[in-house]
Every structure is written in structure tokens, then in C-alpha cells.
Structure 1
């Protein structure tokens, strides 16, 4: 059938988003059309009410390439994102001749992988498990003995759900800061940019001493990486797409009006998450007679006073009196009324862990004991190992830097 182009475009724009990736392979004209900003905007306008991104909350085990899925919404996808990610990681390991491989970061539909070579060297790969694509990043150059890199993460440049670029970031604290030995008041970065295809080195001042090492798995949002430093009671935030010489240091809400730290409470559990496009700070205080759950939204990136940076959204008691400790792990990416937690229960010297989902508005929390056996396999549950995997509304491939090769695994299903 020969359809006019205007009719064909309107037909394609009404198909489920899960079909778009496959239809791009029909011909070059369709691929060019579906990757254009015109088609993306048209698709978003027509499907505004029904267009929802599939998402999952994954638990990443550090010692393997396993990704356990807790909660998910598939929408028009035939399989859950967790199944898609696990299958892709298994095939990636086979494609790399069963070398050691671990996931360092999961964000905006991408996974940053660390793959060891036969010679012991580490190679970074940026992968899209839904499109089944991956790119090997060139090894970073040697760094100074004065630098101590503590982790690696991924920061993205997004526009209306479209991935414009990404940066692989190695981060740490210089051993010598400001010319004085052992003063930890600067951060150092090795940054690989998909736009330039090069590694660069950068140092920034934190304006405050860093008493402990930076925590792993920082949160990526709007070009920033956010490190929740519980010992310092601050969030270090740095914008990698508008670089400056200063790192933003945002006080956590627990700081007193004078800026001093409140006494630590052994019952405090906290973490960062993303919901409705904002950074959320979640804290449960289980040391009180009545357990409290508080959630704040970061309303601006002003350094210093917590009063000007945070908006308290929720303050309530979940009422989970069966638990010894309740860890907030994530929020619903599109609904700031939904929260997910992990709770522990000890009976006869055995500790069991369960998942809890809760509606903050209705104050109804549901214990999901169906997940008990799977959770027990992973032992302790650190919030940093939980990741939101939200499938962006994009139709294009991963940006491939110059000098790199985009590899697509064949779809066996």
C-alpha cells in the first residue's frame, strides 16, 4: 500500500513506544524519521496522556552481574526491564569471553560496566540493555600519585527525554590539597566525554574538609552527581555540564540552625532518590519510640543553610512496628506519594528482610513477603545498591564518541 507521508507519520506516531526501536530497522527513511526531533515532539504530543516510561527498581549485587528486580511497571513492554537487564548482562559476559564484569552505575536507561581484561586492566563500557548496544570507552591516562580515585560513575545530558551525551567520571580526593599535606578539601575528577571523545582532569574546591571517603554510587540528575556524605551531614553536588572551580556543599536538613551537627542516632537510616524530576532525601528515625519517616525535596542548590535548600514534603509514622530497622531505598519516579523500603525482622536469631511499599498520602503500607526468599540471598541491603531504571522516551542510539565502536548484540528473542 502506498500511503502519503503525512498519513504514514500519523500512523507511526500512534504505535506503542516499545515498537519504535524495531520499526527503525525497516528502512533508512523510517530510522531517520523516528530519530528526528520532529517525530519525538509529535509522538509526545499525541501520546501525552498515555505515554509513560517503563521503569524498575533494581538491586545490584556488587560481587556479580546480577540485577534483582523489586518493583516494576512494564506498560507496553513484553518483558520487565529487570529481565531485560539480566539477560543483556549475561550475554555481555559471554561476548566478553566470560571476563569479570560488574555494574558501576545505572541511570537514565544506561549502565556503566567495569570489565577486566586478561591482563588485569579495567575497561569501562557504556551499555543500553533495551537497545542491546554497548560502547567500550578508552582507558583513562595515568594519574598523579597525589590523587586517590575512590569510585567511578556516569552522568548524562538529557533534553526532553532524549540522551544528548554522557560522561564517565572517576572521582576521589587528592592526597595533597591546597599545597598542605593531608588536607581533604578538594575533589579530583578524571572525566571522559562522549562529545569530545577524550579524558580530561579537573580539581574543584569543596570549601569544607571531607572527613571520610566519598560514598559510592552517587545520584545522577540534571548533569549533577550528588554524594550523600552521612558523616559530614552534607551533600556534595557538582555540575559536570556547567563546570566551575567550586563544588556545591548542601547541608542536610538535620543540621541545627547554627550549622552544627545534631548528635548521631543509631536508628537513623537515610538515602537519596529521584521523583518527579527532583532529588529527594529520605530519612527514617527508628531510634524514637514512634518511628518517623521524613522526605524532603531539594528545591535549590544553594550551598550552606539547609533552610533555604530543602522543602519538607512528608513527615509521618509508617507504623511498621514489626521491624527492627527500616531502610528507605527509592521513590516512585513519577509519583511522589509512593515510597519503597526494606525492613528487617529477627525471630529466633534469624533475620529476614522484606520489601515494603507505601502510599504517603493515604498512609497505607504493604508488606510484600513474596520477596522474602529472594532478598535473603543478598544479605545486607544498602540503599546505594538500589537503582531506579527508567526507560527514557528516546528513539536514537547511544551517542558514539569518535574512535569508538557501537556494538549491537543480536536479539535472540
Structure 2
């Protein structure tokens, strides 16, 4: 081994899964230096450019780290669904707190999760930021006392935003936000990794927002209702200059005046917030499955296909758009107990209703790419939650981020 040069080691290591790099950095100083070099990262991305981009899970907001579907590929080298890594992290790391209740309260687009422990009579609740795959974890000291707010007297929700540059994670912010019903103020308690301090910001927001947010590119996005009861997306940029309301942006949905088939929801994909629905476009005589992405100038229509009777006439409900390829959408039929994925560019679709069941109750679905697999919960569980659940893809990045 000692006779091998750095370039040979780089060539060998670049062909291995991301998950193994955490252990490899502990082997010797030579390997650590190689794995942390920009050249190695670029070589790894080049070697795996024809592989599925990364693994991701479709989580539902029960706050128990449970997933509906899991997309597995060989880039990370995972051997079980992502929610299993999250749960094992909670059990292994915090066994001494086994009398406490842990919740995963936020997911970031950099593959990190925010964990909150409920307070007891003797101890206060604690926040942890973690990478569930590498098992790196840090405690967050979000102390509201210096600014005169007691956390237990308010109903706080959580958000987690990150700042990246050229694939490197530079910093993160943990956001606890609170808005009373019919109140015009949104209070945000913000912890910054770059300062190690907390601050309170208040914005004037004349919208009723949903409880759960989507984290993307340093922004939190909420589904909201304006004063006319119209559905909009409320976005807040936590790395923008200025404070409070200067960070906010409101984007009405592009099909507000039209009849749609599905309940309006959004999903992150390729660095954008995406929205899809079946509706009739202006000048069109038939319904179209339309997909928009949110840009700085507003919603941009990026595809429209004929859904056919398979979507328009049956009980298929949308699950998500593939977070990486932006052309594959997944739907579930509670009546047929089948999974459908459709190409958003040409309308071609595949229906899966013959499943291979695993010992833990999941069903496995092979994709066209032999290096990728989808596993989903049992049909009974999916049918129970899909009509009322709000889904969010938890996406692993294409590189291993160290927590700053």
C-alpha cells in the first residue's frame, strides 16, 4: 500500500460510494488529504456522472422520520432506506435520553436534519443538527432568554436553511418561527453557524401560512392564503441583505383562475421550487399535465403533456417529482394500489402493481436503471396517509458535506 502514489489512490477511491469516505478519512493522513482535495471531488463527480444522481426519500410530516417512498442508488452506497439511518442515529446517539421524545423537525437541501428533544420537568429541550448517513452531529444552542422570549409559551415551528458555494457547505441557519392565527406578524428566532448567536426578527406577513416549510437555497417556502383566500407561495430568504419584510416574496400560483385536479403542493427539484397539476391552459381544448418552476421573475411553465385517461380519469394522486432529473413524476393510486411514474416531457408512463415484498413490510420496485431501486411503504399504510399527508423529499447531496 505504501508504494502506491496519490494519483493511483485517487483513481481507486473515486470509484467507491460516498458513505465510505467518512471512514476512509480515518485511515491515514494521505487518504484524508486526498479525499478533501477539490481534484478528488471533481474526479468523483466525473466517474459517477452516468449514475443516478443521489438517493432521496419522500418523507411525510408526521415528524417521526417516517418515509413513504425511498429512491436508492449506488452513489452513496446505502443498504437501507434513509428513514432507517435517521432512526438508528436517534437510538444510538441518544440512548442516555431514552425517556425523552425525539422529533425530526426540519430537513435541509444539503442532506442535514434538525432534531428536537422535548423538555422535561428537570431539563430543557435540546436541538441537534445531524447528517444521518455520516452520523456527524452537533448541538445547537438556540437560547431565547436573552431576547425576552420563553420558548415553551409559544407554538414554534422549525426551519433549517443552508449556504453552499461550488458544492461546499459554508454555513447554516436554524429558524424557529411563530405566527398566531389571523396575526400579521411572523416572528423568527434565528441561530447562525457563522456567528454562533441567536437573533429575533419580525416580519409583517398578511397571510395565513401552513405549518411546514420547504428549505431550498437559503430560503424557506410556505404554502399560504392571502386575504382573498387565494393560494400563494410565501418565500423568505434568510441570507438576503436587509431584515424582516425585506426578505419576503409572495408568488401566487400560476393557475389560480383555473380548475385543477390535485390539491396544490410544491416540491424542490434541481435547485428550484416546482409545482405540477392537471388543468386547461389558455387556448387549449384539452387538459394538460403542466409543470412550473419558480424563478426570480415568477413561475415558468417548463412542460405540458396530455395526461390521458390514466391520470385524468382514475384516482392517481401526485407524490413528487424526481428531485434530480426534473422529468419523472410519481403518482399513487389508492384504488388500484399501484405506483405510476410518468415522463413529463413525452407523457410516457409505467404502472407498477406487481410488487416484491420485503421482510420489513416494504415493497420493492426495480427501475429501468439497474443501479437504482424504489422502495415504498406497504399499500395499506400509503392508502391511509396519502390523501391527507404533506410530502417533502429528503435529498442527499451529490457530495459529503461536513457540518461547519
> How many residues are matched?
366
**Contact 1:323/1:344 (<8 A) preserved:** no
1:237 is aligned, of 235, 238, 244, to 235
SS in 1 for 2:195: coil
- The runs of 5 or more residues in structure 1 that have no matched partner are 176-181, 256-261, 303-307, 346-351, 400-413
Q: Deviations over 1:315-351 (max 9, x none)?
A: 4325336976543231112212100123332xxxxxx
Match of 1:100 in 2: 101
Could you tell me how far apart the structure 2 residues matched to 1:19 and 1:296 are? 37
1:282 has 2:276 as partner: yes
Residue correspondence of structure 1 range 163-242 to structure 2 within 5 A:
163-173=169-179, 184=184, 186-206=185-205, 209-210=206-207, 212=208, 214-229=209-224, 231-242=229-240
**Contact 2:290/2:301 (<8 A) preserved:** no
Could you tell me how far apart the structure 1 residues matched to 2:305 and 2:238 are? 33
Match of 1:296 in 2: 292
1:112 has 2:101 as partner: no
Match of 1:363 in 2: 347
**Superposition deviation, residue 12 in structure 1:** 3.4
Match of 1:387 in 2: 392
**Contact 1:149/1:172 (<8 A) preserved:** yes
SS in 1 for 2:20: helix
**Contact 2:57/2:67 (<8 A) preserved:** no
Could you tell me how far apart the structure 1 residues matched to 2:183 and 2:169 are? 38
Could you tell me how far apart the structure 2 residues matched to 1:87 and 1:81 are? 11
Match of 1:341 in 2: 331
Could you tell me how far apart the structure 2 residues matched to 1:332 and 1:278 are? 12
SS in 2 for 1:376: helix
Select between 228-237 and 85-94 the one with higher mean Cα deviation: 85-94
Could you tell me how far apart the structure 1 residues matched to 2:197 and 2:112 are? 20
TM-score scaled by length of structure 2: 0.77
Select between 225-234 and 91-100 the one with higher mean Cα deviation: 91-100
Q: Deviations over 1:57-84 (max 9, x none)?
A: 2333616343343433344614144243
**Superposition deviation, residue 393 in structure 1:** 3.1
**Contact 1:328/1:383 (<8 A) preserved:** no
**Contact 2:210/2:223 (<8 A) preserved:** yes
Select between 226-235 and 214-223 the one with higher mean Cα deviation: 226-235
Closer/same/farther in 2, CA of residues 150 and 234 from structure 1, 3 Å limit: farther
Could you tell me how far apart the structure 2 residues matched to 1:183 and 1:16 are? 49
Q: Deviations over 1:235-272 (max 9, x none)?
A: 111111124342111121024xxxxxx37x68541211
Select between 237-246 and 126-135 the one with higher mean Cα deviation: 237-246
SS in 2 for 1:85: helix
Match of 2:370 in 1: none
**Contact 2:172/2:193 (<8 A) preserved:** yes
Could you tell me how far apart the structure 1 residues matched to 2:106 and 2:388 are? 13
1:21 has 2:16 as partner: no
Could you tell me how far apart the structure 1 residues matched to 2:48 and 2:74 are? 17
1:398 is aligned, of 393, 399, 403, to 403
1:49 has 2:54 as partner: no
CA RMSD of aligned residues (A): 3.4
**Contact 2:269/2:322 (<8 A) preserved:** yes
**Contact 1:215/1:227 (<8 A) preserved:** yes
Could you tell me how far apart the structure 2 residues matched to 1:357 and 1:95 are? 43
Match of 1:349 in 2: none
1:376 has 2:380 as partner: yes
Closer/same/farther in 2, CA of residues 87 and 243 from structure 1, 3 Å limit: same
Match of 2:60 in 1: 60
TM-score scaled by length of structure 1: 0.76
Match of 2:158 in 1: 152
**Contact 1:93/1:99 (<8 A) preserved:** no
Could you tell me how far apart the structure 2 residues matched to 1:74 and 1:4 are? 27
Could you tell me how far apart the structure 1 residues matched to 2:387 and 2:188 are? 25
Match of 1:178 in 2: none
Could you tell me how far apart the structure 1 residues matched to 2:166 and 2:53 are? 13
Could you tell me how far apart the structure 1 residues matched to 2:326 and 2:20 are? 29
1:330 is aligned, of 292, 308, 320, to 320
Closer/same/farther in 2, CA of residues 318 and 75 from structure 1, 3 Å limit: farther
Could you tell me how far apart the structure 2 residues matched to 1:151 and 1:354 are? 34
